[in-house]
Chains A and B, each alone.
Chain A
Amino acid sequence: MSPASVPDPMAPLTPSGNLRRRQLVSRVAEIAATAAAVLAVAALALVIYSVVIRGAKKISLDFIFTAAPTGVGPMLLGTLEIALIATLMAMPIGVLIALLLTEYSSARVARPLKLVLDLLNGLPSIILGLFVFALLVDHKQQSGFAGAVALAIIELPLIARGSQEVLQLVPGSLREASDALGVARWRSVLTVVLPTALGGIVTSTVLAVARAAGETAPLILASSNFDGKSFVLNPFEAMPNVPTWIYKLSEEGNSEGFNEAWGMSLLLVSFILLASLGARALLARSKRKLSS
């Protein structure tokens, strides 16, 4: 009887040989995956840190409310107004498309419609800039409105997709209850389904606005007003706005301009991060409420 065939009762319980190698590989993979996540979050933190550190010293009431050279009020106003007009165009269309998908949907309609939304979502924003330039600016003049049309196209698929997700969560029992009472379809859509989903629809819209507010490429072609000394309210003129202004300052390369650009970046980033974080939290809450 050879001693090798008897398991050694004193052998340690820690893995050895092949198993040890496999566990090591697994451990390394786990560490790599964790490192990847840390890396991405660190990149976000680094960008935000740079913007806050360098932008904070420019922020003051004068910076926000007065015109150039002391402040950037006209640009903020322009961005606000362009985003508002874009949302007024995109929201009704987006919500109606979502209604079509959830309330009147048949696979024959839904598939091509989703394809259209995906294609719109995938369009590079510079292409939308060329588009509005050809359609509304060329041989005419730049306008905040042209920029708003481009931003509306960016917002549209986001609003439609977000609203559709919320509308799908409206309990079927509500629709059935409404049907059972003899309420016409359109009435139950307008008085039961939409009001129930309203919170979610609004927050999806806020998310879309946060995405559109920082878009630069379309506005360079549609509304690049580099005056900044006067407030422009008329959307059919070129309106100064935050993203194109940051872009211009970053191309110019003088340090005072860089400081101003950091200040504007801080304002824009804080708006976008607060809006998207807030909207996300609200959206998660209203989805939870709907599905419970």
Chain B
Amino acid sequence: MSVAASTAVREAGHGHRVSPLRKRADQLGDRMLFGICVLAALIAAAAIVLVGYQIIHGASPAISKFGIGFVYETTWQPNFGEFGAGVLLFGTAVTSAFALLLGAPIAVAIGLFLTLLAPGHVRSVIGPLVELLAAIPSVILGFWGLLVLAPFVHEHIEPFLHGAFGFIPIFGDPQTTGLSFFTAGLILTLMVIPIIASISRDLFQSVPPELQDGAAALGATRWEVVRGIVLPTTSSGVIAASILGLGRALGEAIAVSQVIGAGFEIKNSLFETGNTLAAQIALQFPGALTELHKASLYYCGVMLLVIGIAANLLAQWIGRRFGYAGAVAR
């Protein structure tokens, strides 16, 4: 740091007056560095546009053949050239909603634990550990889900839930394997928790301590401080964080394709096999039979892209519109 500064000093302090040539060179240098930086930004922007264009272009045969009906039609028969993404859309919605309903409360609780309950040294260990959960590659999480989690779910959790709540149709009869919406949802839960937890922790830390101390001084218990001060001031941010987590769950292809069992019907039980938009692309694209088959998978990609970007923009809008924007925009 000081070495770099002194180098600059030596270089700059050559003459008493800056020569015109040097001045010209510096002007040129300034423009060039700025120009290169702008160029880099343009490349990033172009990447977004190009991604959108290529995906839509790839989908165009399917779009012109099936139109908007593709989104809700439920036949997917590559051999007969008939494609509809209804089942996949259903599976995507079920697994992501499952992950969010289970994961968001847990993640918010972790955020609360890290900001309000944990002593400093515990916080500095648990916080990074939770974030490390996000660092485990999805293929390994999926592989673990396939060989460790799915058998456990099949042998223990499914019979238990069916026994206790079997009168609700979503907890139907256990199937032959543990590959199901349920297992996929659990894996996705593990993926959304670190995202929502780390954002909510940052949000909770930004709640003014005076407000919390004031409530505590009035006799509020810890839970009442959370319920009355912390959560209301950060609720928009928590919602935005959950939407970001949802975006992650919607787009996960690999891990889901490993544990969801590639079913092709809409079932009302969570223990049945199913499929999602992203997983279908990962499973079928490498062995796609026809150009139309490929185009249909691109069409699934278009749907994912639209849902994903909409979720992202919505999260940002909520974050900006309802305050605490800085903490969410990351």
Contacts and interface: CB of A to CB of B under 8 A. Distances in A.
Q: Are both chains from one complex?
A: yes
Interface of A: 22-23, 25-26, 28-30, 32-37, 39-41, 43-44, 46-48, 50-51, 92-94, 96-97, 99-100, 103-104, 109, 112-120, 122-131, 133-135, 138, 153, 156-157, 160-161, 174, 177-178, 181-192, 195-196, 210-211, 213-217, 220-221, 224, 243, 246-247, 250-251, 258, 261-262, 265, 268-269, 272-273, 276-277, 280
Nearest to A191: B8
B308 A273 contact: no
B1 interface: yes
B11 A187 contact: yes
10 contacts: A36-B110, A41-B129, A113-B45, A123-B251, A131-B50, A161-B330, A192-B5, A217-B282, A243-B137, A269-B137
A213 B137 CA distance: 8
Contacts of B254: 126, 216-217, 220, 247
Contact of A192 (B8, B57, B105, B135): B8
Overall SS of chain A's interface: helix
Interface in B88-119: 105-107, 109-110, 112-114, 116-118
A37 B47 contact: no
Contact of B130 (A37, A134, A261): A37
> 8 closest A-B pairs (Cβ-Cβ)?
A124-B251, A214-B137, A184-B26, A36-B109, A96-B40, A26-B221, A26-B223, A100-B37
B221 to A, nearest CB: 4
Interface stretch (B64-72, B79-87, B165-173, B298-306): B298-306
A37 B58 contact: no
A191 B4 contact: yes
A272 B38 CA distance: 32
B160 interface: no
A187 B29 contact: yes
B33 A258 contact: no
Contacts, number: 291
B136 interface: yes
Given A123-B308, A220-B282, A130 B4 contact: no
B218 interface: no
B5 A178 contact: yes
Contact of B5 (A100, A119, A174, A262): A174
